[in-house]
Amino acid sequence: MRRVTWLVVILGAGAALAPATGAQDNAIPVLQSADFGWLADTEFLPPAEGPGPVTFDKTYPYVRNNTVGQPTFRISDVSNPILQPWVRERMSRDNDEVIAGKFAFTARSSCWPAGVPGFLVFGCGARTVYFVQTPKEVVMINDGDQQLRHIYLNVAHSSAPKPSWYGESVGYYEGGDTLVVDTVGLNDRTFIDNYRTPHTEQLHVIERWKLAGGGAPIGVTVRVEDPGAFTTPWQAGQVYQKTPQGPLSEMVCAENNANYFGQNVMPIPMAANPDF
């Protein structure tokens, strides 16, 4: 298989989004390597206080593939007070189908884009993220099917961005160790997390990527707002550890979707129009 090698620049995270004219900190740490990426878990961490993300139903504990015992699919805890009634009803139906034997959907297993903030928990198992920095943008690349995010630096959002899988992300650096990413314009075809939590096109996500002293790890705080799906804004966390697994490698996913087990969980993604 052909290998793709990237110049990797790892960035940290920050605060609330500054105006496009905000000053850029010249002391931004630059960590460049073709020998490592950053590895995260597939679960969001809860905030220290206040509303937090959906997790598993305690009646159906989630057992991972890499732990002792029979692995399970995720059954969501629909009692989380952040969920609006229609979201709770939809997730309850999905839970019932999975309990009855349906294979649970994940973006990674079906080769679909993860969206935001789902990108931070993308994968059947943990996946590695590589970063590329230019003066005008930061590119995040998940090595599971090379899912890409583009964060455009020191610019304002478009007046009416067309909804898309990864939306429109703008950001800026702050404090010498942080990257703030503000994302809007997301379509409603993705899920918030691996518990299949839906959202609307009103979704607004602010991420604060902060690089710890010594160059590792990266701590991410996420603020999620969607008045169409949630009763209140809520927060979650994620941690990325440096992993020396070598250069980013090309990985096939969509072209390799063989519909294992005959479950027809999701069709192979197809573009409506050619790219060129």
- Greater model confidence, 187 or 15: 187
Residues 189-234: tens digit of each pLDDT: 999 999 999 999 999 999 999 988 777 889 999 999 999 999 999 9
Per-residue three-class SS string for the chain: CCECCCCEEECCCCCCCCCCCCCCCCCCCCEEECCCEEECCCCCECCCCCCCCCCECCCCCCCCCCCCCCCCCCCECCCCCCECHHHHHHHHHHHHHHHCCCCCCCCCCCCCCCCCCHHHHCCCCCCEEEEEECCCEEEEEECCCCEEEEEEECCCCCCCCCCECCCEEEEEEECCCEEEEEEECECCCCCCCCCCCCCCCCCEEEEEEEECHHHCCEEEEEEEECCCCECCCEEEEEEEEEECCCCCECCCCHHHCCCHHHCCCCCCCCCCCCCC
Query: Is the pLDDT reported for residue 128 higher than 90?
Result: no
- Residue 276's pLDDT is 63
27-36, 155-164, 252-261: which has the highest mean pLDDT?
A: 155-164
- What's the mean pLDDT when you consider all of the chain? 81
Mean pLDDT over 73-82 rounds to 93
- Residue 143's pLDDT is 80
